[in-house]
Every structure is written in structure tokens, then in C-alpha cells.
Amino acid sequence: MEFFLQGLTMGLAYVAPIGLQNLFVINTALTREKGRVFLTALIVIFFDVTLALACFYGIGAVMERSPLLERLVLLAGSLIVMYIGVGLMRAKDSLKKTDVDMPLWRVASTACVVTWFNPQALIDGTMMLGAFKASLSPAGANSFVFGVAAASALWFFGLSAALSLFSAKFTDRTLRVINLVCGAVVFFYGAKLLRNFIGLVFGL
């Protein structure tokens, strides 16, 4: 139980800060019907947990042995993050709009992009979760990563439920402001990653 609680606490600290996953869930909760909101949360949880497992059990070792792969992930990720930021700033969603015909493959692909194609999530996850694994016994490691997975489910379902309950307090103008602010932050985040890539390649 001790390792599970440690993983739960660590997992909440890992997913709680505003990031691409949270922005995706927030926008969905404010603009879609409740059934789609919780289905989206479930899909995001799936990709978040699989990423955590990959980071915990060794994706960092692959990237450490291949500087070229690390740079390619950084470049591709930065461009994708900037593209998502521009999309958010240009979005003109309405709170009255319910996109019930949005195919599930599109929800899944977007959730995959904001999770697995986020180089910072790969790096942070590898550094934090990999460091914990190195200090735990096999039995303790399994309990710890189960706690991390539980934290992901608790956070994203809780976030979806809270926003769905209070969505009536939001207006189209509020959503527009949120999209602009979040889009600008995400674009800046992507630009910073691109700058890191340029620094690695050209030593600037």
C-alpha cells in the first residue's frame, strides 16, 4: 500500500499541471455532451497510462542510446505542438455545439498526439518515473506504477466531471478566451521545444 500511495501521489503531481492532455479534456468537457466527454477522458487515460508504463519500463534507455532519435522526436514534437496551439487560437467552438458525429478514431488520434507526440512528456516521464523505478524492488515497482495509473484515471475523470457540472457557467466568449490563452501558451511551449532542438543541432 505504501508504494501504491507513493505512485498515486507522484502520478497526480505528474498529470495535474496544465498541459496538452488537460487542454484537450477541458475543451471537450466545455463543448461536448457528457457521454462523449467521459469517453474522451477514458481514451486520454489509456494513452497516458501506456506512456507512463513505457517511460517507467525503459523508453528512456532507447532515447539515451540514440541521440538522433531524441532529436527527431524533439523536432517532430515541437512542430506538432505549435500546430495544436495555432488550432486552438483559431478555434471558434460554441458551447451550444455538440459534435456527436465526430468519429472515435479522430478522438483517439488527437489524444495519441497530445500524449505520445509531446516530447516534454516523454522526457519528463522518463526522468521522473525512470528514477523511481531504479530505486524500487520489482514488487514495489509494480505497486508504484499501478498507483500512477490510478492517479491518471482519478484526475481525468474528476476533471471531466467537474467541468461538465459547471459548464453552464461558461459562455461562448469564455471559451474563446480560454482557447486563445491556452493556444498561445501551447504555441509558446512548442516554440521553446523547437529552440531546444536548434540549440542541440547547431550548439546555439
Separation of CA 116 from chain center? 8
Position 39, amino acid: L
What per-residue confidence (pLDDT) applies to 147? 92
11-65 per-position pLDDT tens digit: 877 676 556 777 778 777 777 777 788 888 899 999 999 988 888 887 655 666 7
Does residue 86 carry a pLDDT above 80? yes
159-179 per-position pLDDT tens digit: 888 888 876 676 677 667 767
What per-residue confidence (pLDDT) applies to 114? 78
User: 34 near 28, Cβ under 8 Å?
Assistant: no
111-161 per-position pLDDT tens digit: 888 788 777 677 767 766 766 776 677 788 889 889 999 999 998 998 888
What per-residue confidence (pLDDT) applies to 16? 65
What per-residue confidence (pLDDT) applies to 88? 73
* Integer Cα distance of 135 and 58 in angstroms: 14
What per-residue confidence (pLDDT) applies to 180? 81
Give, as one character, the DSSP assignment of residue 168. Answer: G
Cβ-proximal residues to 187 (8 Å cutoff; 6+ apart), any chain: 81, 82, 85, 86, 89
What per-residue confidence (pLDDT) applies to 98? 42
- Enclosing H/E stretch for 203: none
Predicted model pTM = 0.68
